Structure 1
Amino acid sequence: MFFSAILAAVLPIAALGAEITIQVGPNNTNTYSPTNVTAAAGDVLTFEFVSGNHTVTQSSFKTPCDELTFANGSTGLDSGFLPANSSTTTMPTYKVLVNDTTPLWFYCRHPGHCQQGMVFAVNPTSNETFAEFQAAAKASNETSTSTSTTQSSGSTTATSSSASATSTTSKSNAGATRLGSAGAMLSAIGVVAAWVL
């Protein structure tokens, strides 16, 4: 019975795919490392904020330095500003569950960072490459990040946490899902399954 309870509690977590860690601001730079990844549905992207004051904000390939806004007015994922100090041991993180293999595009909305090339891509294609996305960001003269981009594909989920706070805001409309809500749901399913077993 005890083993069944443990198995039921862990089973929902095991259903998630691989965890891919992306550092935000490594070595006090305005970069993501790595700059792009290939992820499968079910993979979890863990953005680890290691220095500076940055965001992970969803954009589109065509407008890399503008927050993604859908036709219904909702916006894509945005971690909000998560300041980090490289001398601390606990870094803020922002987790994103990838729902499908649709390309996803992100940037830092701190003024000037996107224009310096601080962008990130998930599943870029040969038709829409990371190099082209970053070049478009660097060519952007805008310092505002409020211009809208309309899109209507995919779905997204994410979770942010820091040493002092956890955010559970949920968005599910852009290729990934915020894990704050999804993680709580998976834990609840595990507890219920443990009682049934």
Structure 2
Amino acid sequence: MLFKGVLALTVLLASGIQAQFEGGVVTRVVAKRQAPEGMVMVHTVQVGDAEGNNRFFPDSLQVDPGSMVQFQFHPKNHSVSQSTFDQPCAPISQTMANMTGVRSGFLPVAADATDMPVFTMMVNDTNPIWLFCGQQPHCQNGMVMVINPPAAAGKDIETFRSAAMSSTPGSGGGSGAGAGSGGSSSSASSVSGALPSSTSAPSTVAAGSATPTQSGPLQATINAAPRQMSNAAGLSGLLIASFAIFGL
């Protein structure tokens, strides 16, 4: 009887420890794990590719507010710049008052480069963000994309691309994101910062503290993997302790 009682108590205690480790109520049902706080979803966009195609891959993207978009730059000299649907190859700063918009600056990459520059932005709402490459004549060749395309008919990526390819190089400030500039800026309504970097970020990053009103860029930092509690170790230790105490 003593052995059975101790064994039952040990199992119940072990269940309670496991539930506590998992962050749930102390019951025999293990609580469902929650995602670590401060982690956000990152969507990856290729700017060009290894074959030298002047395209964004993908060129149409649905992104939830609070998620990030990371642009990975392939060889050639590309940029990411925000425009409007009506003037696809003109920076939004030149067509709308008091709007800076997304702007990566040009990030040239040599054909034999081993590092891939990246530019990361955070999406704050579901408004469409129309983007183009400011290197002439890439936009006129169809190098455009949209984040959160509107549902309205006639405002899809192909219509936007067609308008870009019909525009005249150099008209409306088509040089894009500040020629030769490696700086970055953010849209007051759509994004909260950007970070050029020489290395790729992981699939999850921690959002920084910078905002459009601050001078510093958003800092993307790597979060360590969540620590895993060793339930097996706790159970085995408790069993050993019980046997030692009661001499079983």
What is the TM-score of this pair, normalised by structure 1? 0.71
Matched, 1:108 2:133: yes
For residue 155 of structure 1, report the CA deviation from its aligned partner.
2.9
Provide the C-alpha distance between the structure 2 equivalents of 1:40 and 1:83, rounded to a whole number of angstroms. 30
Matched, 1:28 2:18: no
Maintained 8 Å contact 1:23/1:33 = yes
Matched, 1:183 2:219: yes
Provide the C-alpha distance between the structure 2 equivalents of 1:140 and 1:171, rounded to a whole number of angstroms. 34
Maintained 8 Å contact 2:142/2:161 = yes
Equivalence for 1:85: 110
Which of 170, 181, 198 is residue 143 of structure 1 equivalent to? 170
- Give secondary structure in 1 for the equivalent of 2:189: coil
- Give secondary structure in 2 for the equivalent of 1:142: coil
Equivalence for 1:131: 158
Provide the C-alpha distance between the structure 2 equivalents of 1:65 and 1:15, rounded to a whole number of angstroms. 35
Maintained 8 Å contact 1:40/1:98 = yes
Residue 136 and residue 60 in structure 1: after superposition, are their counterparts in 2 closer, same or farther (change >3 A)?
Answer: same
- Give secondary structure in 2 for the equivalent of 1:137: helix
Equivalence for 2:67: 43
For residue 117 of structure 1, report the CA deviation from its aligned partner.
0.2
What do residues 52-103 of structure 1 show as CA deviations (whole Å, max 9, x unaligned)? 100001101111000002323x421211110113433320000011111110
Provide the C-alpha distance between the structure 1 equivalents of 2:100 and 2:157, rounded to a whole number of angstroms. 22
Matched, 1:71 2:97: yes
What do residues 139-181 of structure 1 show as CA deviations (whole Å, max 9, x unaligned)? 112324527xxxx972322221236xxxxxx7739xxx99x63
Greater CA deviation, 96-105 or 16-25? 16-25
Which fold has the larger relative contact order, with Cα–Cα distance below 8 Å and residues 6 or more apart in sequence? 1
1:5-20 alignment to 2 at 5 Å?
14-20=37-43
Provide the C-alpha distance between the structure 2 equivalents of 1:14 and 1:48, rounded to a whole number of angstroms. 26
Q: What's the RMSD between the two structures over aligned residues?
A: 2.8
Percent of aligned pairs sharing the same letter: 35
Residue 36 and residue 181 in structure 1: after superposition, are their counterparts in 2 closer, same or farther (change >3 A)?
Answer: same
- Give secondary structure in 2 for the equivalent of 1:17: strand
Provide the C-alpha distance between the structure 1 equivalents of 2:112 and 2:47, rounded to a whole number of angstroms. 15
Maintained 8 Å contact 2:101/2:188 = no
In structure 1, the gaps of 5 or more residues are 1-12, 164-169, 188-197
Matching residue's letter, 2:110: N
Residue 130 and residue 153 in structure 1: after superposition, are their counterparts in 2 closer, same or farther (change >3 A)?
Answer: farther
Matched, 1:172 2:212: yes
Give the number of aligned pairs.
Answer: 159
Provide the C-alpha distance between the structure 2 equivalents of 1:154 and 1:28, rounded to a whole number of angstroms. 33
Provide the C-alpha distance between the structure 1 equivalents of 2:47 and 2:151, rounded to a whole number of angstroms. 25
What is the TM-score of this pair, normalised by structure 2? 0.57
For residue 16 of structure 1, report the CA deviation from its aligned partner.
4.3
Residue 113 and residue 181 in structure 1: after superposition, are their counterparts in 2 closer, same or farther (change >3 A)?
Answer: same
What do residues 88-121 of structure 1 show as CA deviations (whole Å, max 9, x unaligned)? 3320000011111110011011111100000011
Provide the C-alpha distance between the structure 2 equivalents of 1:124 and 1:24, rounded to a whole number of angstroms. 19
Equivalence for 1:4: none
Provide the C-alpha distance between the structure 1 equivalents of 2:88 and 2:138, rounded to a whole number of angstroms. 11
Largest Rg, 1 or 2 = 2
